[in-house]
Amino acid sequence: MGLLGCQTQSGAFPKGDASERMRGFAVRVLSRRDPLFLAGERTGHDQVRHREGARERAMAEKFFSQLKCRECGRTYPALATHVCEFDFGPLEADYNYSAIGAALNRKVIESRPGTMWRYRELLPIVGDPTVGQQVGFTPLVKADRLAKALGVKACYVKNDTVNHPTLSFKDRVVAVALSRARELGFKVVACASTGNLANSVAANAASAGMESWVLIPADLEQNKVLNSIVYGTNVVGIEGAYDAVNRLCSEIAGKYGWGFVNVNLRPYYAEGSKTFGYEIMEQLGWRIPRHTVVCMASGSLLTKIHKAYGEFTKLGLVEKDGFSIHGAQATGCNPITAARKGGTDLIRPVPHPKTIAKSLAIGTPADGYYAVKSMAKTGGWSEDATDEEIIAGVQLLAETEGIFAETAGGVTVACAKKLVATGKIPKDEEVVLCITGHGLKTVEALTGHLAAPSKIKPSLKEFDSLISSGLAKARVKV
Ligand SMILES: Cc1ncc(COP(=O)(O)O)c(C=O)c1O
Ligand SMILES: [Zn+2]
């Protein structure tokens, strides 16, 4: 059996060389007979050749044409594969930045529709996008009231609670992954998810007429589950934590040859998160914010915001400037924060995550090692937040800025508060908070923490006595 590729069952790459990276992680060897590879080879090359016109092919070769190992730099054809066969390093999209630089400038970008595809040359598809054409370009809100509450000079909220169509930043990664999945000829797409990704794969696959399967921990929030089922996808609840779901998905991808957006299509999927960073810079007036706080599950979003800041600098779209990227996790699942605080890049898995921020509950984060590196390189720090602090964070954002975030957003706000309090974000500097999902998805987390509405008869007299009794302020919690 020829050893062509290898992936950790968890998807994690904890450390430098291959043997270190593999230590302590179950590894599955993929052979040339493996459907994961066959899917890429058969449906990939041949169908791409059939379908694409000359214009798209030329564009593909100009801006993006291959994958590259993040560790050793070896290159691979742009198929459904995600791990280097020599050192098990993750594969990333590889771009021709001089061609992109010649095609892209601020004016060109500003002239395009307000979606994430205005940065299309920096995304790894070869034709025009065919899925998620309306995704992105969400508001960057100048959050003065929140800044005051946090005690910092300036604060901005990048508000992906209103991202289209499923109210989280995951629509960005799915738009790229499914557009690429179609180019590679996949008929069935799937994912391992902590909830938001499942919602997005389900909705975007439905609109593209693709069959989809979403695998999630069985104990997710009810609205997250419902927000997948409604699109007619196949939802499978797994009795176990996310790591178990992810492990199973690697096996299914191998056996069934489906396009798993965050397994065999991960190099394409992950690049979608860069648009979150591109938009921040453009909306700030073409500059990099001094501080950015990002909530982390796998750690991918944080690393891709870092990459986005670097790419715009390299392309001359923003000035080279100092910036720090800080991470945020829940205390009940904080493997990346613990590594950053411990001064190591070795990620210790959390076998039993316990937090109300279920979307961030990944005990073995695939990009944790690189997230730690991004934070260390930019002088960023990392914090974590307890359940109580997460709820307080959700409430603070809602009460100061009128933005209702899911628990992951509460993590970002709570950790930003700690970063300011400890001086990691100096009070006279600015910060951008990455708010990545809508609060209506995680309403159970607030049960028992909010005041019940006052109830009166339809009479002015009763209303008057409500006002005079001060009851409106002292209400019971629901
Ligand atoms: C709302 C929300 N924010 C942030 C994240 C973290 O994403 P990443 O896995 O890229 O760190 C997730 C992941 O599922 C999420 O659902
Ligand atoms: Zn390699």
Neighbouring CB atoms inside 10 A of 470's CB total: 8
Higher pLDDT: 23 or 137? It is: 137
Token pair for 393? 């964070």
Residues 249 and 325 reside in one and the same domain: no
| Best residue for ligand 1 mutational test, from 10, 243, 295 (most atoms within 8 Å of Cβ) | 295
Total domains present in the chain: 3
Q: Are 411 and 333 in contact (CB under 8 A)?
A: no
pLDDT at 291 over 70: yes
Atom 7 of ligand 1 has which residue's CA nearest to it?
Answer: 297
Q: What is the pLDDT of residues 294-343, one digit of tens each?
A: 999 999 999 999 999 999 999 999 999 899 999 999 999 999 999 999 99
pTM of the complete model: 0.89
pLDDT for 17 beyond 90: no
- Tell me whether residue 307 is in a domain: yes
The finding on whether 300 has its CB within 6 A of some atom of ligand 1 is yes
Ligand 1 contact via 228 beta carbon (within 6 Å): no
Question: Domain boundary residue among 222, 246, 269?
Answer: 269
Mark whether 78 and 226 lie in a shared domain. Answer: yes
For residues 463-475, average pLDDT: 77
Choose the final residue of a domain: 269, 284, 302.
269
Query: Per-residue pLDDT for 1 more than 70?
Result: no
Query: What per-residue confidence (pLDDT) applies to 451?
Result: 86
Q: pLDDT at position 469, please?
A: 86
Helix (H) / strand (E) element for 306: namely helix 300-314
Cα(50) to centroid of ligand 1, in Å?
36
Any idea which of 24-28, 119-123, 296-300, 459-463 has the lowest mean pLDDT? 24-28
Task: Tell me, yes or no, whether 111 lies in a domain.
Answer: no
User: N- to C-terminal Cα distance for the chain?
Assistant: 60
The two three-digit tokens of residue 79, written as one number: 């198929």
Q: Could you list the residue range(s) of the whole structural domain that residue 177 is in?
A: 5-100+170-269
Quick: pLDDT tens for 141-168: 999 999 999 999 999 999 999 999 999 9
Within this chain, do residues 261 and 277 fall inside the same structural domain, yes or no?
Answer: no
> Distance, CA 181 to ligand 2 centroid (Å)?
23
CB 436 less than 6 A from any atom of ligand 1: yes
128 is a domain residue: no
pLDDT of 202-238, one tens digit each?
999 999 999 999 999 999 999 999 999 999 999 999 9
Using the atom order of ligand 1, give the atom closest to the CA of residue 168.
1
Residue 371 has pLDDT above 70, yes or no: yes
Residues 437 and 300 grouped into a single domain: yes
Between 452 and 250, name the one with better pLDDT. 250
8 Å CB contact between 167 and 161: yes
Higher pLDDT, 138 or 60: 138
Residue 12 binned pLDDT confidence (cut-offs 50, 70, 90): very low
| DSSP letter, residue 454 | P
Q: Is residue 114 part of a domain?
A: no
Mean pLDDT of the chain: 89
**Shortest-distance Cα residue to atom 9 of ligand 1:** 298
Asked, for residue 398, whether it belongs to a domain, the answer is yes
Nearest ligand to the CA of 18 is: 2
Question: What confidence tier does 377 reach under pLDDT thresholds 50, 70, 90?
Answer: very high
Distance 276 CA to ligand 2 centre (A): 27
**Whether residues 12 and 64 fall in one domain:** yes
CATH number, domain of 383, equals: 3.40.50.1100
pLDDT recorded at residue 359: 98
pLDDT single digits (tens) 93-131: 999 999 999 999 999 999 999 999 999 999 999 999 999
Which residues in 254-293 are b (16+ Cβ under 10 Å) and which e? beebbbbbbbbbbbbbbbbbbbbbbbbbbbbeeebbbbbb
* 340 and 441 fall within a common domain: yes
Region of poorest pLDDT, from 2-11, 125-134, 172-181? 2-11
Q: Are residues 21 and 46 in the same domain?
A: yes
Taking the CA of residue 254 as centre, how many other CA atoms within 13 Å lie in the half-sphere pointing to its CB? 18
Of ligand 1's listed atoms, the one at least distance from the Cα of 173 is: 10
Q: Report whether pLDDT(30) > 70.
A: no
Instruction: Quote the pLDDT of residue 53.
Output: 55
Kindly list the distances between the CA atom of residue 220 and the CA atoms of 28, 170, 234, in Å, as whole numbers in the listed order.
28, 17, 16
Residue to substitute in 173, 296, 326, 435 for testing ligand 1 pocket (most ligand atoms within 8 angstroms of CB): 296
Chain segment 39-93, per-residue pLDDT in tens: 333 344 344 444 445 665 565 569 999 999 999 999 999 999 999 999 999 999 9
**Same-domain status, 260 and 363:** no
Q: Is the pLDDT of residue 478 over 70?
A: no
Q: Domain check: are 368 and 290 in the same one?
A: yes
Q: Which ligand is nearest to the CA of 68?
A: 2
Tell me, what's the pLDDT at 237?
Answer: 97
